[in-house]
Structure 1
Amino acid sequence: MAGTVPTSASDHHDELVTSISNRLRQLSETSFNCRLLTVLDKLRKNHKEAFLPKQISIGPFYHHGKRWKAMEDHKWRYLQSFLARTQKKLQECVEVLKKLEKRTCLCYLEKIDLNNDEFITMVLVDGAFVIELFLLNHFPEKKAVNDVIFDKKKEWMIMDVRRDMSLMENQLQFFVLENLYNFAFGSQLTVLPSLLELAYDFFISRVNLKAEGARIFDTDVNHLLDALRSWYLPATQDAQGDGWKNVEAIPRPSHLRAAGVKFRISESNCLFDIKFSVGVLYIPCLELFPVTESFLRNITAFKQSYYKHDSYSIEYVAFLENLINTRADAKLLIKKCIIDVENWLGHDGTLAKDAEALANLFNSFGKENRFWTRNINFCSLRQDLKAYYRSHWH
């Protein structure tokens, strides 16, 4: 081409090597688990609302959504109170986040429709909101009288916010939150709880969350949903097999009962601690709330995208999907108090309505997922139940 300076082959080679090296360096700066992915289309298809925030958008995926603009001013009020509480200058907080900007941006595989200033503003407002929310929950005496999130006349609001904070696509990386929190309250960290402690305190009222102290505070997590995943895990992890196996179906509860199997509530605090011993199936009580379906769908989607080696949540959902095949199955587990539906549907439903809704919920998981497992204990549990059922002695 006329008017251009010829480029030698060696110069072009060097540029290509540099370009590839830069791309590889970017990949090495953040792990895959730290990336924030969107929900798989096959999981979103029939249950879109389960993955959408109701009140609060956190992070870039829903930042421009009109349906969440009503709470944007409230997030800015939280930023104002956060800055007043920390006594740090706004400029200093912005500088902290700017130092993390490149690392933060690398955690998003999707293209973010924000320029640099808009991105930093979003991270600051959302990050300060999360931290201030946790602090106000932990120190209720500091709440404003007219705070709509903690309004006792609108208890559904705080439930919606808790739900929104545990959505897969509604997250900020935890290292961003933690860096902002540690900078803002560095001189007070000896007397303040850690950010993970505040987060656990905020989420503890949700379904069946009773983790042990050591695991709460010594957890390396990528974001809040990842923290919830970790807190639900048993204290002692089960052994994992060498390869993945298709989850085997087990007989229905009515058939198991006919074979002599008794259903009992387990005293364990861990939902995944299901045991079968001497003809008795021990299952921890699952207390259902209006947010339970959304949480189960998000934690399942999260596991399938990030933690394929850790199949506890998927195994648990698959096990309940096997047990709750029909309304009769659901009725049995409700009557045995293994599943508590008292706070679930938001109305005084009859046993028949509750059982039908429960059966429909878990049947939908089975239709939309193909369950695989490496968990040796869950495999043994299924095999033991099937062997007991097939024995003529029983």
Structure 2
Amino acid sequence: MKSDQAGVNVENKESKAHLIEILISSFDQKLEKLSVDPSYSYAACIYRVSEKLRKANEAAYTPRLVSIGPLHHDRAQLQGMEASKLKFMHNFLSRFGIGMHTLVKFAAKEESFVRGCYEGKIDLSVKKLTEVILLDGIFIVELFLQNYFSQLRDKSETIFENQWMHNNLLHDMMLIENQLPIRIMKSLMDFVDLSFLNEGRVLTIYDLAHSFFKNVGNTHRVALTSRCNNARHFVEFLLFLHAPAAGSRDTSSSARKVEYTRSAKELQEAGVRFRDGKADCLLEVFFESDGEKRGCLFKFLCGRGGELTIPKLRVDELSETFFRNLVAFEQLGHFGHFSKYITSYVILMDSFIDTSGDVDILVNHGIIENKLGDSQQVANLFNNLHKEVVTEANDFYFAKTCGELNEYSKDWLHQWKASWFRSKVMLKKNYFSNPWSFLSLAAATVLLILTVIQTVCSILQV
């Protein structure tokens, strides 16, 4: 009996020892893979949009015309542009006198780096991904060059003549899932010689991207900065382009709590005046009360309120794609503290806009340029952008401005102004909308006064 028990113990020890050997071997393989597998070697920066974000608007995250990179490469409805990619490659090779062998060698060398830039596993083979890198990279460089230099365009190419195609290309190039690392296009630009165009200065891929995206967001008003050169793909490029300058007003705030403020109509009722900001950056939003501006309590009490400055924004059919993908990247990316600028801007605009009437106020003050036509569409856009987005309580860029607006609105004087404003609007709507309403009100007032006089006289006679 004891010998049987001893045999079992020996067998258990051998089994555990074997298990330990298996685990050691498994960890050795994983550690070895850590130094070889590109998915471990490189930090991912191109992400798949979560289902939670995607369900808010599938179309805002899905390419319509062209696939860039491996994530949407096999979509059947995008295969029509593959022929255009080949034409662009032919133009690139013939125009700059580059050998195919040189380009293929370059793309093959970059394959492991590109594979590691995507979150999750890429199912394409090394050969297929190398082909995608080369075709898509050259397509982007040629697209940007032809956008910048109209004389380089093939007369048979309709991309730039067809507004529908051009808008769809802009849409597709802003998608977080439809990106190729900028490093590829930056390296391909080393093969480009524009001396035959008598181009005096050296153009970078960032100069070309800035020109291509000029009608997106506020790009046409903002200048390139050195920070843009650190962008890993074009979504991050647009994010850096629209980021505030270092040391701007709200970046010094220690309290970053997400706090909604009043709508544009409510703020106007409380005496807030709206002004179109002349700043280039969308995030240069600030509030100044008349008390602060005039430095006198009397003037503050007698003044009209405060002034809210908001930079001008053009809202068009590309706006939703722009905001949703930048917000998605901020949600999915791994940034430092206080970096969710576009998410904060979307929350702020959602605060200001509840109804089409709020949109009309911002349009009338030159803050929103409505290219969608219908004010309700603009309201729906901003009311839905923030859905399914999780924002940390300490990561709101406009906390200070919203706090100032809320404190201003809570003041008894401004609450009285809001009540008076609403009463004035109601009177105007109900009694002053036409001459007959006004005459009826005047007659009723006169009749009331006469009745009071008659009553007083009767009392005196008694």
Scaled by the length of structure 1, what TM-score is found? 0.87
What is the rounded CA distance, in whole Å, between the counterparts of 2:406 and 2:200 in structure 1? 54
Q: Which of 282, 285, 294 matches 1:271?
A: 282
Residue 187 of structure 1 and its aligned partner are, at CA, apart by: 9.8
Three-state SS of the structure 2 residue aligned to 1:100 is helix
Q: In the alignment, residue 113 of structure 1 is paired with which amino acid?
A: D
| 2:402 aligned residue | 382
What is the rounded CA distance, in whole Å, between the counterparts of 2:154 and 2:393 in structure 1? 48
What is the rounded CA distance, in whole Å, between the counterparts of 1:204 and 1:83 in structure 2? 27
| 2:330 aligned residue | 303
What is the rounded CA distance, in whole Å, between the counterparts of 1:146 and 1:192 in structure 2? 28
| 1:57 aligned residue | 67
What is the rounded CA distance, in whole Å, between the counterparts of 1:88 and 1:191 in structure 2? 22
Question: Is 2:89–2:135's contact at 8 Å kept on the other side of the alignment?
Answer: yes
What does 1:218-367 align with in structure 2 at a 5 Å threshold? 219-238=229-248, 239=251, 245=257, 247-278=258-289, 279-308=306-335, 309=337, 310-341=339-370, 343-344=371-372, 349=373, 354-367=374-387
What is the rounded CA distance, in whole Å, between the counterparts of 1:281 and 1:222 in structure 2? 35
Residue 88 of structure 1 and its aligned partner are, at CA, apart by: 1.6
* Aligned CA-pair RMSD: 2.6
Question: Is 1:207–1:289's contact at 8 Å kept on the other side of the alignment?
Answer: no
Say how many residue pairs are matched. 372
Residue 280 of structure 1 and its aligned partner are, at CA, apart by: 0.3
Residue 185 of structure 1 and its aligned partner are, at CA, apart by: 2.9
What is the rounded CA distance, in whole Å, between the counterparts of 1:294 and 1:141 in structure 2? 30
**Greater alpha carbon shift after TM alignment, 37-46 vs 313-322:** 37-46
Three-state SS of the structure 1 residue aligned to 2:275 is strand
Q: Greater helix share, 1 or 2?
A: 2
Q: Which of 140, 153, 173 matches 1:143?
A: 153
Three-state SS of the structure 2 residue aligned to 1:146 is coil
What is the rounded CA distance, in whole Å, between the counterparts of 1:10 and 1:329 in structure 2? 67
What is the rounded CA distance, in whole Å, between the counterparts of 1:15 and 1:24 in structure 2? 14
Q: Which of 120, 128, 131 matches 1:121?
A: 131
| 2:429 aligned residue | none
Q: In the alignment, residue 413 of structure 2 is paired with which amino acid?
A: W
Q: Which of 178, 183, 193 matches 1:170?
A: 178
Three-state SS of the structure 1 residue aligned to 2:276 is strand
Question: Is 1:86–1:185's contact at 8 Å kept on the other side of the alignment?
Answer: yes
Cα–Cα, structure 1 residues 83 and 191, in superposed 2: closer, same or farther, change >3 Å?
Answer: farther
Cα–Cα, structure 1 residues 271 and 373, in superposed 2: closer, same or farther, change >3 Å?
Answer: farther
| 1:3 aligned residue | none
Question: Is 1:79–1:125's contact at 8 Å kept on the other side of the alignment?
Answer: yes
Residue 369 of structure 1 and its aligned partner are, at CA, apart by: 2.5
Question: Is 1:311–1:374's contact at 8 Å kept on the other side of the alignment?
Answer: no
Q: In the alignment, residue 407 of structure 2 is paired with which amino acid?
A: A
Residue 192 of structure 1 and its aligned partner are, at CA, apart by: 3.6
What is the rounded CA distance, in whole Å, between the counterparts of 2:311 and 2:67 in structure 1? 33
| 1:46 aligned residue | 56
Residue 49 of structure 1 and its aligned partner are, at CA, apart by: 0.6
Cα–Cα, structure 1 residues 287 and 187, in superposed 2: closer, same or farther, change >3 Å?
Answer: closer
Question: Is 1:244–1:372's contact at 8 Å kept on the other side of the alignment?
Answer: no
Question: Is 2:255–2:400's contact at 8 Å kept on the other side of the alignment?
Answer: no
Q: Which has the larger radius of gyration?
A: 2
Question: Is 1:39–1:301's contact at 8 Å kept on the other side of the alignment?
Answer: yes
Cα–Cα, structure 1 residues 130 and 311, in superposed 2: closer, same or farther, change >3 Å?
Answer: same
What is the rounded CA distance, in whole Å, between the counterparts of 1:248 and 1:270 in structure 2? 22
Q: Which of 158, 169, 173 matches 1:161?
A: 169
What is the rounded CA distance, in whole Å, between the counterparts of 2:25 and 2:272 in structure 1? 70
What is the rounded CA distance, in whole Å, between the counterparts of 1:377 and 1:53 in structure 2? 30
Residue 307 of structure 1 and its aligned partner are, at CA, apart by: 4.7
Scaled by the length of structure 2, what TM-score is found? 0.75
Question: Is 2:108–2:130's contact at 8 Å kept on the other side of the alignment?
Answer: yes
| 2:436 aligned residue | none
Give unpaired runs (5+ residues) of structure 2.
Answer: 1-16, 290-305, 415-462
What is the rounded CA distance, in whole Å, between the counterparts of 1:190 and 1:220 in structure 2? 25
Q: In the alignment, residue 282 of structure 1 is paired with which amino acid?
A: T
Residue 54 of structure 1 and its aligned partner are, at CA, apart by: 1.6
What is the rounded CA distance, in whole Å, between the counterparts of 1:372 and 1:18 in structure 2? 38
Residue 21 of structure 1 and its aligned partner are, at CA, apart by: 2.2
| 1:4 aligned residue | none
Residue 227 of structure 1 and its aligned partner are, at CA, apart by: 0.6
Question: Is 2:114–2:181's contact at 8 Å kept on the other side of the alignment?
Answer: yes
Residue 58 of structure 1 and its aligned partner are, at CA, apart by: 0.6
Question: Is 1:59–1:171's contact at 8 Å kept on the other side of the alignment?
Answer: yes
What is the rounded CA distance, in whole Å, between the counterparts of 2:116 and 2:163 in structure 1? 37
Residue 360 of structure 1 and its aligned partner are, at CA, apart by: 1.4
Residue 200 of structure 1 and its aligned partner are, at CA, apart by: 1.1
| 2:43 aligned residue | 31
What is the rounded CA distance, in whole Å, between the counterparts of 1:22 and 1:187 in structure 2? 45
